[in-house]
Structure 1
Amino acid sequence: MTDKDKAVFNTGRKPQNLRSGLADTLMAQIESGDLKPGQRLPTEQAIMAATGVSRTIVREALATLRAKGLITTRQGLGAFVTNDPNPRSFSIIPNDLQSIDEVLRVLELRMGIEYEAAGLAALRRTPEDIERMQDRLDALDRALEGGGYGAQEDYAFHRSILVATQNSYYSRLFDTFGDIMVPRQWARLDQMTAAERKRHAARMRREHHAIFAAIRDGEEAAARRAIRTHLSKSSARFEELRDVTNAR
């Protein structure tokens, strides 16, 4: 490994999720042009020596880059940056959400998208949109009342807001991600007491009903506030989970 290769890994932090941390470091180097199209990546052994991670972690990180189309492997030669590593499309895959920090980043992205979408939906919603949102909200209520996660119902409700913008790019963007935008694997409902789950369900229902009411009533500013409040509280909960996890 050359000194330049070592510098690639010296810039990386030591995050809790080593696979995603290594993949993020390599992706950043590719996107910045420090690792150029066609350039050969250091060997697995060299990466292990530079980072101190296991061979399994290295291979998982490289698999993530391959899945994103950033690198390709050649039998007997190793891994190379693709000739055109700039992605033509964007997606979030399940492997991207292996830590709470990554979930928080997705929530930040959702905040930017849905804040604007909620305002547009309040201005542009049709009677059909209101009926659709009400139907999705009722399904979410039933799921939460039954003690479930309600991830698919939650996703469907939020998607109905994007549809109500009358701008198909919003809903098409969500369709790219699917219900992974509601990362139920980190909800940890199974670790809550019955009382905690009841409070959680009540909060979820209250926040979603506030979003719906504002959009239904055509209140643009209120719709934006309601969606921001909802996603901000979700972020706060995940931050608490992260702090508890880190303290163990």
Structure 2
Amino acid sequence: MPPVKTLGDVAARPPTPSRPRRQRGLVPEIVDALATDMREGRLQPGDKLPSESELMNRFEVSRTVVRESISRLQASGLVETRHGVGTFVMAPQEQSNFSIAPEDFATVADVVSLLELRISLESEAASLAAQRRDASNLQNMAAALAAFEASIEESSDAVPSDFQFHMEVARATGNRHFADLMTYLGTMIIPRTRINTASSAPEGRLAYLQRVHSEHQSIYQAINARDAEAARKAMRIHLSNSRERLRRSQPG
């Protein structure tokens, strides 16, 4: 087995030329820069990525941004993290037929397209969840709802708890492919991660998030009641409303 290259080996290679910050966000920029390093050979399979602190200094961003960037690289199969050791570049894998990259969310139209995909998939997931859920599924959904409500009061965008609720619905289907797809998409399925719909909503941030919370509660209540058709309808209404709220939030 060849020796693992160290940061010193990587540092000896010329860095990626600096580029101006793009408007689509810091995380996609860092993901793109590191992926380019891998694609152009500055980072080879088996190389250890620089530490979080080094990446923070290189890109002049927070630790949170660095960690989300690494998470996205992991989700794309480009790196793997070995606990207590570090994060390493993985060998290129055969490209799958289906993929959604961060750059596929550059416009409102892109986000709307994903919502249309979610409407068909998650409506059926909610129906299956109503038929198959168990007590632990309900408990996890209720915890996500409580976290969402708490986030509203804390002036948060409530993205993590929003995603967690949808993730728990997927898990309650008992079909791992629903959960795998949600894991693959991650929090970027929540429009607020790409377009700040909450702050630009005509009714204001608080009323906007309270309405989202009410829609989540309707989904939960239908799943709790084992009403498959009501759960399907509630999820469809929620995601269709998200699509329309997103459209209305944009000028013109």
Report TM bin, short chain. Answer: 0.5 to 0.7
Q: Structure 2: how far apart are the matches of 1:174 and 1:192?
A: 26
Q: 1:178: how far off?
A: 0.9
Please give the TM-score of this superposition, normalised by the length of structure 2: 0.60
Q: Structure 1: how far apart are the matches of 2:122 and 2:239?
A: 9
2:146 maps to 1:126: no
Q: Structure 2: how far apart are the matches of 1:170 and 1:103?
A: 20
Q: Which runs of 5+ in 2 are unaligned?
A: 1-21, 23-31, 41-93
Amino acid paired to 2:129: A
Q: 1:201: how far off?
A: 2.0
Q: Structure 2: how far apart are the matches of 1:114 and 1:100?
A: 20
2:196 maps to 1:181: no
Select the residue among 156, 162, 169 that pairs with 2:177.
169
Query: Is the Cα–Cα contact under 8 Å of residues 132 and 172 in structure 2 kept in the other structure?
Result: yes
2:242 maps to 1:234: yes
Q: Secondary structure at the match of 1:156?
A: helix
Q: Structure 2: how far apart are the matches of 1:191 and 1:183?
A: 13
2:199 maps to 1:190: yes
Query: Is the Cα–Cα contact under 8 Å of residues 145 and 201 in structure 1 kept in the other structure?
Result: no
Question: Can you list the C-alpha shifts for 1:171-200, whole angstroms capped at 9, x where unaligned?
Answer: 01111111111132313433457x622211
RMSD between aligned residues: 2.8
Q: Which runs of 5+ in 1 are unaligned?
A: 1-55, 57-63, 74-85
Match of 2:28 in 1: none
Q: Secondary structure at the match of 1:225?
A: helix
Amino acid paired to 1:196: G
Q: Secondary structure at the match of 1:134?
A: helix
Match of 2:225 in 1: 217
Q: More displaced, 215-224 or 181-190?
A: 181-190
Please give the TM-score of this superposition, normalised by the length of structure 1: 0.61
Question: Can you list the C-alpha shifts for 1:91-127, whole angstroms capped at 9, x where unaligned?
Answer: 3222111100000001011111101100000000001
Match of 2:109 in 1: 101
Aligned residues: 168
Q: If each structure's helix is expressed as a fraction of its own residues, which one has the higher value?
A: 1
Amino acid paired to 1:98: A
Q: Structure 1: how far apart are the matches of 2:213 and 2:229?
A: 20
Greater gyration radius: 1
Matching of residues 138-177 of structure 1 within 5 Å:
138-177=146-185
Q: Structure 1: how far apart are the matches of 2:131 and 2:182?
A: 20
